[in-house]
């Protein structure tokens, strides 16, 4: 065996032949046992960004989604149909969210005291230092989103370097400190890196590309997040409101 397509879950399934079992074996490590999401997008939701009908859902499972963490599934056509059937069940199980007053209050905090748009964009409005949030409510759980605001370093998504042969995407938003051979210093966010080069973006959003032999020093701040902590800036109630606003961002205009 040369490699595994996906992270395998702990549970044993001797006969991975129903949609649910195939799902748990192949999909759950990222999307959660009940489709609640995790490193992968939430599937227990009425609408999926990349799959708005059965054909596109099957296509996405078969081919993966280039430019995202989603790899192609190592399954045959029959198995893919079964998995797709189970995913539709998970989608049907999702509660329909209502726009809450909390979300309205959260939006206000996002736009004012939070200053979130300095680094994050929604529908193309805002900065690009941090992840785009247009449909973050589809892709992340409410609990994760609250933590991500209160204490961003508490749960930094893993990068997917093990899967680079199918996923050619920017890495996570790792902060690097580098010094060029001619003495320039830069603190920036890593966009991509390989064996001979690195691409970064600085705090003003300027893009830089270096070959490594042009650098005297390259330091990576593992475990640190470029985002400030908002615990202490927002009250617990305000954190709930901001999280509610983020949950409401589901790619709907």
Binding residues for other proteins, per CB under 8 A?
1-5, 7-10, 12, 14-17, 29, 63, 74, 76-77, 158-159, 161-162, 164-165, 168, 193-196, 213, 222-223
CB of residue 211 to other proteins, shortest distance in Å: 9
In this structure, the dihedral spanned by the alpha carbons of residues 117, 50, 45 and 159, taken in order and rounded to 10 degrees, is -60
CB of residue 22 to other proteins, shortest distance in Å: 11
Residue 248, both tokens: 């409401």
Q: What DSSP assignment string belongs to 198-234? A: EEEEETT--EEEEEGGGEEEEEE-TT--SSPP-BTTB
Whether the CB-CB separation of 91 and 84 falls below 8 Å is answered with: no
CB of residue 4 to other proteins, shortest distance in Å: 6
Question: What residues does 199 pair with on adjacent strands?
Answer: 192, 209
Kindly tell me which of 74 and 228 has the beta carbon lying closer to other proteins.
74
Kindly tell me which of 143 and 161 has the beta carbon lying closer to other proteins.
161
Kindly tell me which of 211 and 253 has the beta carbon lying closer to other proteins.
211
State which H helix or E strand residue 19 sits in.
helix 19-26
Kindly tell me which of 4 and 104 has the beta carbon lying closer to other proteins.
4
CB of residue 174 to other proteins, shortest distance in Å: 9
């Amino acid at each position: 065996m040369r490699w595994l397509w996906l992270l395998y879950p702990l549970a044993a399934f001797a006969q991975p032949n129903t949609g649910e079992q195939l799902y748990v074996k192949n999909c759950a490590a990222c999307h959660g046992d009940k489709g609640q999401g995790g490193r992968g997008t939430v599937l227990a939701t009425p609408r999926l960004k990349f799959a708005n009908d059965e054909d596109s859902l099957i296509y996405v499972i078969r081919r993966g989604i280039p430019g995202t963490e989603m790899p192609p599934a190592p399954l045959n056509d029959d198995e893919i149909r079964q998995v797709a059937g189970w995913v539709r069940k998970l989608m049907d199980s999702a509660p329909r969210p209502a726009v809450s007053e909390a979300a309205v209050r959260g939006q206000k905090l996002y736009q004012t005291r939070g200053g979130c748009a300095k680094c994050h964009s929604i529908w193309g409005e805002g900065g690009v230092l941090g992840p785009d949030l247009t449909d973050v409510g589809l892709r992340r759980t409410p609990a994760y989103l609250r933590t991500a605001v209160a204490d961003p370093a508490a749960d930094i998504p893993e990068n997917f370097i093990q899967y680079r042969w199918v996923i050619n995407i920017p890495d996570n938003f790792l902060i690097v400190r580098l010094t060029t051979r001619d003495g320039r210093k830069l603190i920036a966010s890593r966009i991509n890196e390989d064996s001979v080069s690195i691409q970064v973006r600085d705090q003003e959003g300027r893009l830089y590309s270096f070959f490594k032999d042009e650098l005297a020093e390259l330091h990576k701040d593992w475990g640190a997040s470029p985002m400030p902590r908002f615990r202490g800036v927002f009250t617990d109630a305000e954190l709930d409101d901001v999280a509610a606003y983020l949950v409401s961002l589901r790619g709907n205009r």
